[in-house]
Structure 1
Amino acid sequence: MAGYTSIALGALLLLSCAAWGSATVYTVGGSSGWNTGINYTDWTSGKTFTVGDSLLFNYATGAHTVTEVNSGDYDSCSSSNAISSETNGPTTIQLKTTGTRYYICSISGHCGLGMKVAVTVGSSGSPSTPPPPSTSTPSPPSSTTNGNHSSAPGLAPASAVASLAGLVVLLF
Structure 2
Amino acid sequence: MGRGIVLVGCLVVAMVACLGGARATEYVVGDSQGWGANITNGYYDEWAANKTFRGGDTLKFVWNGPGNVANVSKEDYDNCTKVTSTFSGGDAVSFTLPENANGPYYFICTVDSDCENGQKLAINVVSLTPTESPNSSASSITAGTLSVLVLLSSSIIAMFRN
- Scaled to the shorter chain, the TM-score interval is 0.5 to 0.7
- 46-55 or 73-82: which moved more? 73-82
- Aligned partner (choices 111, 118, 133) of residue 114 of structure 1: 118
Q: How many residues of Structure 1 are paired with residues of Structure 2 in the alignment?
A: 126
TM-score by length of 2: 0.68
Any conservation in 1 of the 2:87–2:93 contact (CA below 8 Å)? no
- Judge conservation of contact 1:67–1:79 (CA < 8 Å) in 2: no
Distance in 2, Cα, partners of 1:14 & 1:79:
48
CA shift for structure 1 position 81: 6.3
Match of 1:79 in 2: 82
Q: 1:100 aligns with which of 99, 104, 129?
A: 104
TM-score, scaled relative to structure 1:
0.64
Residue 52 and residue 4 in structure 1: after superposition, are their counterparts in 2 closer, same or farther (change >3 A)? same
Unmatched runs of 5 consecutive residues or more in structure 1: 127-164
1:47 aligns with 2:85: no
Percent identical among aligned pairs is 29
- 2:68 aligned with 1:65: yes
RMSD between aligned alpha carbons? 2.4
Could you tell me how far apart the structure 1 residues matched to 2:47 and 2:80 are?
A: 19
Higher helix share: 2
Whole-angstrom distance in 1 between the partners of 2:4 and 2:71:
55
**Which structure has the greater CA radius of gyration?**
2
CA distance in 1, matches of 2:83, 2:69: 14
> 1:34 is paired with a residue of what secondary structure?
coil
The amino acid that maps onto 2:14 is L
| Matching of residues 3-22 of structure 1 within 5 Å | 3-19=5-21, 22=23
Q: What's the counterpart of residue 27 of structure 1?
A: 28
Q: Deviations over 1:30-49 (max 9, x none)?
A: 11000022411111112111
SS at match of 2:110: coil
The one-letter amino acid paired with 2:80 is C
Amino acid at match of 1:73: D
1:125 CA drift (Å): 4.3
Tell me the distance in 2 between the aligned counterparts of 1:40 and 1:23.
Answer: 21
Output the CA distance in 2 between the equivalents of 1:88 and 1:125: 36
Q: Does the CA contact (< 8 Å) of 1:69 and 1:81 recur in 2?
A: no
Distance 1:116 1:50 in 2: 19
